[in-house]
Amino acid sequence: MECVICLESTSNSTKVFNCDHINYHLNCIKNVIVCPLCKVCKIANDNIINGRFVSRILVWHYNQILPASIYRSAKKLDCEIVIIKSLSERGPNDLIYHYP
């Protein structure tokens, strides 16, 4: 299916809003608070840490993916883990996972 934001193909299966629309990249809607198709709000209390919505967990190295995914399940988050090379890739709702 096609992402409604960037029109490229997406295989996203994560529900972000309180509706059944999932045809977008999680990355494309990270700054969007209502469904672009039907204007329904994001699912409340989902992916919230310390009162903040988390759209992605960022790590610096592939060997941090495993501890970050343990952290993700411990916090009951449902978001993707992305390896970044620079802080400029960080979005406003992204959480940077620091290796302990």
Q: Binder to Zn ion among 12, 15, 28, 80 (CB under 5 A)?
A: 28
Query: Does 41 interact with Zn ion (rule: CB under 5 A)?
Result: no
81-97 b/e with 16+ CB inside 10 Å = b? bbeeeeeeeeeeebbeb
**In this structure, how many other beta carbons lie within 10 angstroms of the beta carbon of residue 38?**
11
Query: Does 16 interact with Zn ion (rule: CB under 5 A)?
Result: no
Which residues does residue 2 pair with via DSSP β-bridges, in sequence order? 9
Query: Does 5 interact with Zn ion (rule: CB under 5 A)?
Result: yes
Query: Does 15 interact with Zn ion (rule: CB under 5 A)?
Result: no
Closest CB 65 distance from Zn ion, rounded Å: 22
CB proximity list for 75: less than 8 A, separation 6 or greater: 49
Binding site for Zn ion (CB under 5 A): 3, 5-6, 19, 21, 25, 28, 35, 37-38, 40
